[in-house]
Amino acid sequence: MTQTPSKPALPAIGGVLKYFKVTSYITGIFLILIMILWGIRLSIQADLWLAGPDGFLYLAFYSLDAAGEKVGLPTSGLDITVISLIVHGWLYVAYLFGDFRLWTLMRWSFLRFLIIALGGIVPLLSFFTERHFTKVAEAELKKVS
């Protein structure tokens, strides 16, 4: 059962909603980037590489050895595919923090927390959860004020 937010929590909810919106969009964009890079990795066996020996930004092709390890990647530069995974992981933590703050201040059910949390790991879902639950929160805030 959903409860209404307490009166002392009302001033903080506006800032939490802004934080939640920003982290939702950034996490969603990085998740789309990861899915594109993952598709490239699986389809043509290449990683996006930055500042390596073959140029500023390019696809570095590789092959797999008998143990399943990548062979043929550059030894200098940055693997943007791997870096995007790491950055998304940290952004997801920030997204979960926004989800948790919104969930606790709005006094929502645990199921809502889980649905919003899925937004950071299911492609495109963060955009829908942000839009839907922001509207739900704003409607509940109008009832309380």
2-45: pLDDT as tens digits: 577 777 777 889 899 999 999 999 999 999 999 999 999 999 99
Please say whether the beta carbons of 47 and 36 come within 8 A.
no
Question: What single-letter DSSP state applies at residue 78?
Answer: E
Rg (CA), the chain: 20
According to the model, what pLDDT value does residue 11 have? 81
88-132: pLDDT as tens digits: 999 999 999 999 999 999 999 999 999 999 999 999 999 999 999
Strand partners for 46: 61
Please say whether the beta carbons of 30 and 87 come within 8 A.
yes
Report CA 87 to chain centroid distance, whole Å: 9
